[in-house]
Structure 1
């Protein structure tokens, strides 16, 4: 809860459960039972909800509240995030992976997280078209009533990590009433403004962007490689441009911190102290 509180105090309007890389197969491989695995997934959402509710109660006790009541999004990472072999940054899952296999992989986790009471479902860093198709079909098959967003990842600002076009993938998302928001995350910040402009041509849905710090993840060595990292002043200045370009939800992903969100919140909301 402490980390969630830090982001809420920084001005976050949406906090995300710590379940991005948490999967039932992963927990089972560590020797847990199915009940224990599902309980951990539920707990990730409950902790975020408890932090939000506790923070909101403390905010209401103040004479002049300066925060909004935050929403809680249940995070669901890609199949590649579960593999932890770098494929979440390439979209290359192998010839034996099909849409049906991806749906089977995500199905129970989606059911459990949606049932834990989040305000939103956040599908994050989706690297290829096949997985986007699988998620849209799964939302329909399970009749998920929780609003969802699906965010892609990109390494060049023009395509998904797989090399497939944004236009082809957005066409899939546009056809789904279950998907309320589309966007990108875990993508270098220098590409974001161009991506927003491209998305605005391809969709009428709200757009979310929460890039990483600009560093590059080496999936083989499992470490961050130095890059032209953006300081908070640069990041928040870019955030203003992203908002002006048409993004509705703006935040930070890997290697960003509560300080990043505080700076973004200050420039977008005009808060002197937050």
Structure 2
């Protein structure tokens, strides 16, 4: 059975951040992920996790309010990227995170892609024992983000051919970018090393949009997928009152969106 993680940046927001891992554990999640766990001391995170695995964290985006969305593909920001990556790597080591999402940033053009490739190769060499992910983000939610297409991500992953670099398959972004998340999964699943799920079209509880989540979990079982399926969505009500989908998937009840 796949391991399920709760994205505690978006789930259980009824309580403070460091109280959320406990709620995730009580709800039946196997681990958590946190987008930017940089605002609390490491020891506080360690206490909050209390042995609960941290599935993934992102590289620091920079000044979000000023428009920063990471720096891996931003020409001229190589030192900024490397500093932020090493910070993420150190935090991942202290918290036991198994994956780092390398944020590309706002950029475009051939020079941006060359910068991105060089930075990804450098980062992969720094973290040979961790899995690195790159995630296409849809342009409506993330205007100007360099990586905005799953075919683009696949080309970069294939060309670099790094053993610890893969695609982060986010069901929401795949549906928003390409219209048919099922087709995106079929085309790129061999490159995927982290999965995030949400409902479509409203990004609420998983289900909807025609994507068969039960079938996905069965397929992951059959292929020996050793990564995570993470819940990254906007709860329509208090998180604990909307977890029927988790019980359904763990019990393998059929969950497919109409």
Q: Normalised by the shorter chain, which TM-score bucket?
A: 0.5 to 0.7
Aligned equivalents of 1:11, 1:261: Cα separation in 2: 13
Aligned equivalents of 2:43, 2:32: Cα separation in 1: 15
Corresponding residue for residue 241 of structure 1 = 212
Corresponding residue for residue 267 of structure 1 = 248
Aligned equivalents of 2:192, 2:241: Cα separation in 1: 22
Aligned equivalents of 1:72, 1:164: Cα separation in 2: 26
- The alpha carbon displacement at 1:258 in A equals 3.6
Alignment of 1:105-120 (within 5 A): 105-120=83-98
Q: Return closer, same or farther for 1:113/1:138 CA change in 2, 3 Å cut-off.
A: farther
Residue 20 (structure 1) aligned with residue 6 (structure 2)? no
Cα pair 1:21 1:77 within 8 Å, conserved: no
Q: TM-score, normalised by structure 2?
A: 0.60
Cα pair 2:59 2:103 within 8 Å, conserved: yes
Q: Alignment length, in residue pairs? A: 216
Larger fraction in helix: 1
Listed one character per residue, the Cα deviations across residues 94-124 of structure 1 (whole Å, up to 9, x for unaligned) are: x974462453242321331232141412317
Aligned equivalents of 2:79, 2:66: Cα separation in 1: 18
Corresponding residue for residue 251 of structure 1 = 230
Q: Return closer, same or farther for 1:207/1:73 CA change in 2, 3 Å cut-off.
A: closer
- CA RMSD in angstroms comes to 4.3
Q: TM-score, normalised by structure 1?
A: 0.57
Corresponding residue for residue 58 of structure 2 = 76
Aligned equivalents of 1:113, 1:77: Cα separation in 2: 10
Cα pair 2:36 2:58 within 8 Å, conserved: yes
Cα pair 1:73 1:119 within 8 Å, conserved: yes
Corresponding residue for residue 169 of structure 1 = 153
Cα pair 1:148 1:180 within 8 Å, conserved: yes
Aligned equivalents of 1:156, 1:126: Cα separation in 2: 16
Corresponding residue for residue 225 of structure 1 = none
Listed one character per residue, the Cα deviations across residues 40-75 of structure 1 (whole Å, up to 9, x for unaligned) are: 2x33652454152xxxxxxxxxxxxxxxxxx32241
- The alpha carbon displacement at 1:163 in A equals 6.9
Cα pair 1:213 1:254 within 8 Å, conserved: yes
Residue 43 (structure 1) aligned with residue 40 (structure 2)? no
- The alpha carbon displacement at 1:241 in A equals 1.6
What runs of 5+ residues in structure 1 fail to find an aligned partner?
A: 28-38, 53-70, 215-227
Cα pair 2:89 2:127 within 8 Å, conserved: no
Aligned equivalents of 2:214, 2:103: Cα separation in 1: 20
Corresponding residue for residue 126 of structure 2 = 142
Corresponding residue for residue 10 of structure 2 = none
Q: Return closer, same or farther for 1:270/1:197 CA change in 2, 3 Å cut-off.
A: same
Aligned equivalents of 1:105, 1:4: Cα separation in 2: 28
- The alpha carbon displacement at 1:3 in A equals 0.6
- The alpha carbon displacement at 1:267 in A equals 1.7
What runs of 5+ residues in structure 2 fail to find an aligned partner?
A: 1-17, 107-111, 254-258
